[in-house]
Chains A and B, each alone.
Chain A
Amino acid sequence: MDKLASMLHMTPAIFWMVVKVVIVFAGVMSLAAVWTWVERRGSAMIQDRIGPNRARLFGRWPILGLAQIAADGIKFFFKEDLVPTDANKRLFWLAPFLAFVPALMGFAVIPFGKSFVSGGQTYHLALLDPGNGMGMLYPLAIGGMAVYGVLVAAWSSNNKWSILGGMRASAAMVSYEIGLSLAVISIFMTTGGYDPSEVISAQGHLPWAWNIVRQPLGFIVFFTCMFAETNRLPFDFAEGESEIVAGFNTEYGSMKYSLLALAEYSHLMTASALIATLYFGGWQVPFVKDPTVMLSVASFLLKMLFFAWVFVWIRWTVPRFRYDQLMHLGWKVMLPLSMANLIFHAWRMSQGH
């Protein structure tokens, strides 16, 4: 690695940083793209259909319809890029990026593998090294930024349906963030720190010591709130075919629409990575005390992809909520539950557990 770095006229530290940025961002982005395919094929299978299986790579290899991703991308790039006449043009252009960038950035602190030592230097498998002072607060804060993407997209379109969708979605996201934060705070409390590496090492390698077993109530609250945060069914209030045309992205087309859709899937990836880190021991391999680096990365990926699949799975199982039911659930159920969880664990800690 040092040789490669010197060949590129970079110090090993910077080279490692570049490699990590490429791995994390390219990895999450391509996973998000693949997940559009998983969503379509998975939903088809759940509904006894077949799904997209016609697109072929170079018109020859069907590869289970995976070429559909490329076909969709090419199609989106070559479509006409319309901006409505009365739209706020600058914000209209900015909104997809405002939605996409925070969805990717949340991944930066999450350790996707075990740190290792090579040539007297410690390499951490997370974009931001542990002990950066932001810890798990960072993805939560960045997740809050995602509201802007939806809201700016809705506002700049100058379309009443878009604004309705955007307002609804941002209200839902903001109200669910409270329950989510309280659920995470009780984890910080029991861990005694808010750095993701601390959270992971506190959970250990034994599955019954993971936070899912210690705080099942917190997990349910966190998981539910994540659906509202990522704006996916059953809480997809940014969109609504039957009531507000298409929602916040009504006026969007071509690659801008595609970016908004990709933002949703990147958000999904970040959310499932957060769930895996906070409640399922991150890169810890069950029953293996000191896993190799590759094994830990594989373990993390497996957990993350499983939860990404659960997001898809639930979307095609559970019907949508009505808006007042969503608010009822958020304020009258999720918030008291997460508070009860917090108080219970505070009490337990005061009893010396």
Chain B
Amino acid sequence: MAVIVKKVELTWLDRTYVWPVMKGMGITFQHFLKQLFTPTAKRYTIQYPDMKKEMPAGYRGLHELKRFEDGAIKCVACFMCQEACPARCISIEAEEFSDLNITQGFEEKRPAVFKIDMLRCIYCGMCEEACPKDAIWLRNDYEVAAYDRLSMQFGKWDLMNTYAEADGKDSLGQDPTPSVPRRTIAM
């Protein structure tokens, strides 16, 4: 198939080369002035450490483990996220807890250990999809870096507090209710 190349007929003014150059200089000077009088915040370049990009609503960044108003973790340790994770970076250990006021004396489940290996995580959001309790969210923080590998192993309290400062919430370090020792059921 032949490609027909459109021939551009140059006028005598274009052939002088001087006039088109002056037109081009006009265009570049417009850009120069526009950029010069645009305040830094409105320029295309985001000057990274000083300015940060507003991430869009669906962005999948650093995880947060959600909490109830009293500070109890929403996660029920159902292991759905651990199963869904294609990178196998989540590891959970469950425990039981019971409280007269909150659980009416029944025993319920929550994670004793909830670890995410951030070096392995691919931020695919499958854990968020799999979670039946909406307990794990991937949010807008993309600055996940550390000086050593161990700091990239995020534990339960790290994950619960990732956005505590940004949301103006308290930084937690303890469950509101104590866990109960696992009982063997009498057969």
Chain B residues with Cβ below 8 Å from A46 are 28-29, 31-32, 35
Q: Which of B20-73 contact A (CB under 8 A)?
A: 21, 24-25, 27-29, 31-32, 34-36, 40, 43-45, 47
A316 in contact with B35 (CB, 8 Å): no
A201 at the interface (CB under 8 A from B): no
A42 in contact with B32 (CB, 8 Å): yes
Q: Give the nearest-CB partner of A42 in chain B.
A: B32
Distance of A110 from chain B, by nearest CB (Å): 26
B28 in contact with A50 (CB, 8 Å): no
Chain A residues with Cβ below 8 Å from B47 are 50
B31 in contact with A45 (CB, 8 Å): yes
Q: Which of A47-86 contact B (CB under 8 A)?
A: 47-50
Distance of B12 from chain A, by nearest CB (Å): 14
A220 in contact with B28 (CB, 8 Å): no
A314 in contact with B21 (CB, 8 Å): yes
Q: Say whether chain B's binding surface is mostly helix, strand, loop, or mixed.
A: helix
A313 at the interface (CB under 8 A from B): yes
Q: Give the nearest-CB partner of A329 in chain B.
A: B17
Distance of A310 from chain B, by nearest CB (Å): 8
Complex CA gap A220/B17 in Å reads: 11
A318 at the interface (CB under 8 A from B): yes
B35 in contact with A45 (CB, 8 Å): yes
Chain A residues with Cβ below 8 Å from B35 are 44-46, 48-49
Complex CA gap A44/B43 in Å reads: 12
B4 at the interface (CB under 8 A from A): no
Q: Give the nearest-CB partner of B43 in chain A.
A: A50
Cβ 8 A contact of A313, one of B25, B36, B44: B25
Complex CA gap A316/B43 in Å reads: 20
Cβ 8 A contact of B31, one of A48, A50, A318: A48
Q: Give the nearest-CB partner of B40 in chain A.
A: A50
B18 in contact with A317 (CB, 8 Å): no
Complex CA gap A317/B27 in Å reads: 8
Known: A42-B32, A45-B32, A45-B35. Contact between A314 and B25, CB under 8 A? yes
B28 in contact with A48 (CB, 8 Å): no
* B residues with CB within 8 A of A: 18, 21, 24-25, 27-29, 31-32, 34-36, 40, 43-45, 47
Q: A317-B24, A317-B28 are in contact. List 14 more A-B contacts (CB 8 A).
A: A42-B32, A45-B36, A48-B31, A48-B34, A48-B35, A49-B44, A49-B45, A50-B40, A50-B47, A220-B18, A314-B25, A316-B28, A318-B21, A318-B24
The 6 closest A-B pairs by CB, nearest first: A45-B35, A317-B28, A317-B24, A45-B32, A46-B28, A50-B45
* A residues with CB within 8 A of B: 42, 44-50, 220, 313-314, 316-318
Q: List 14 A-B contacts (CB under 8 A).
A: A44-B35, A45-B32, A45-B36, A46-B31, A46-B32, A46-B35, A48-B34, A48-B35, A49-B35, A49-B44, A50-B43, A314-B21, A317-B24, A317-B28
